[in-house]
Amino acid sequence: MHLVRAHLGTCRFEVSAAEKRLLLEVINLYPLVPIVHHRFTHTVTGKDGQQLLEETLTEHRASQRKHVNSLLRAKSRFRKTRNGWRFSLKPPQMDWLLQVLNDVRVGSWLALGSPNSPREMLQALNPKSARTFRAMEASGYFQMALIQAMDGKKSG
């Protein structure tokens, strides 16, 4: 995924056919961070606060999931080119996509047992976890391309 052009706040990206499939595959995994991973920290309301947080997150995720489907599934979103596919995103869409990708990356990391070193990562990697590892790394790849574009740098 690379930035083709940034003009008036809109960034145009180009992806290969394989990258497009991978991007959509990763985004389709959203949400991955378990709701129970989020903790209500105020002790004043205790259990009621945690329940309210979980209900609110569930509603928010459902809304975000609809947004995922409508934004990236729009027939006009991706345009075929000689080298692959082009698509454009405005800054709010890029921020939102970064959040979705981050959820997939963190959720994958949690599913792998939260490894903190390359050695722990290799220990977590096996045929069953390979897909999760792929999702974590791919979401990081797409996040970096978006961040570089936000910084005005061409990515490759």
Strands 79-80 and 2-7: unpaired
CA angle at 114 for the pair 121 and 125, rounded to the nearest 5°: 30
- Distance, in Å, from the CA atom of 98 to the CA atom of 141, rounded to the nearest integer, reads 11
* Domain ranges for the chain: 2-35+79-150
Amino acid, res. 5: R
Contact present, 110 and 121 (Cβ < 8 Å)? no
Query: Model's pTM, two decimal places?
Result: 0.83
Q: CA dihedral in degrees (156, 71, 25, 58; nearest 10)?
A: 130
pLDDT in tens, the chain (156 residues): 999 999 888 999 999 999 999 999 999 999 998 766 555 555 555 557 667 767 877 787 788 888 877 876 777 889 999 999 999 999 998 999 999 999 999 999 999 999 999 999 999 999 999 999 999 999 999 999 999 998 876 555
